Structures are given as C-alpha cells and as structure tokens.
Amino acid sequence: MSVILFGATGDLGSRVAKHLHHLGAEVRCVVRKGSTARAQALLQSASAHIIEVDDLNSKSLEDACRGGSVVISTVSGLEPVVMDFQTRLIQAAVAAGVPRFIPSDFAVDYRKVPLGDNRNLNLLEQFRQTADGVAGIQVTSILNGAFMD
C-alpha cells in the first residue's frame, strides 16, 4: 500500500508516518518547499520518501498524489487549512485517481456537537459536508476522541 501523507512534519503526522512504516506501508510524505531538511531529520526513522511541493499549486498536489492508495491529511489550522487546503487536496487526490481520502479530523465525534458550539469542530463538520459532495473517492474519518497527552 502506498500512503501519501500531508502534515508529516507535525507531531501527529510524524507519528502516523512512523507507525505506517512499522506496519509495512510505503509512506510518501509531502512537504512544502523549504521543509525538506527538517522533514528528513524528523522522518528518518520512518524511512519515508519526501516529496517537496508548492502547496498552492493544484498540479503539484495532483502529481504528489499520483500512484497512491490513500491520501492521509494530518494538517492542522483554521479555515484556510481545514477548508481551503483540504478541499484542494481532495480534488487533487480525485484527479490523481486515489481511491481513498482520510481528512485531518482526528478528534471527538464532531457530528454530535451542535453547530456554533465549537469553532474547530464546526470546521471539521463543514469540511465533511464538502468532502461528502466530492465524487470519485471514498472519505474515511478517524474519530479517535480527545488526545490526552
């Protein structure tokens, strides 16, 4: 299985990369231009292949996704990241023929939180609604509850 991982230089992403490598997956970590040295140092134990892209360029994202079995997003942020970037990312995954997308919604079950109660969880729900409208790809959410440490 070839996993395309976005957000791999963050705490969650680097842990995901290392665990996937431990399970035997081929891990390709996509990083922004200028992040390659940091990514290589951080992800050395994951034996990950580092792909450097301009994250504002949809063609670069599509090329990075090509050949993947799944795109996993572990990016974090507010609307420009959760909505705008992940929307471009899922569109690039579809264009590259990737069959599955796992968005960065590693959290409590935000579907049970009333809209307006929590800004961050509301963004996750808004992206879920956007992703549900994208044809040609399966979206899998991982609702693991709160991180305790």
Give residue-wise pLDDT tens across range 41-87: 767 766 788 898 876 788 999 999 999 999 999 999 999 999 999 99
d(CA 35, CA 31): 6
pTM (whole model) above 0.85: yes
Burial class (CB in 10 A: 0-12, 13-18, 19+), 62: buried
64, part of any domain: yes
62, part of any domain: yes
Q: What is the mean pLDDT of residues 100-121?
A: 91
Contact in structure between 64 and 4 (CB atoms under 8 Å): yes
118, part of any domain: yes
Residue 111 Cα distances to 35, 107, 125, 132, angstroms: 34, 11, 7, 13
**How many domains are there within the chain?**
1
- Smallest CA-to-CA distance from 4 within 86, 93, 80 is with 93
Domain span holding position 29:
2-139
Instruction: Tell me the per-residue pLDDT of 73-84, one tens digit each, with 9 for 90 and over.
Output: 999 999 999 999
pLDDT class for 149, splitting at 50, 70, 90?
low
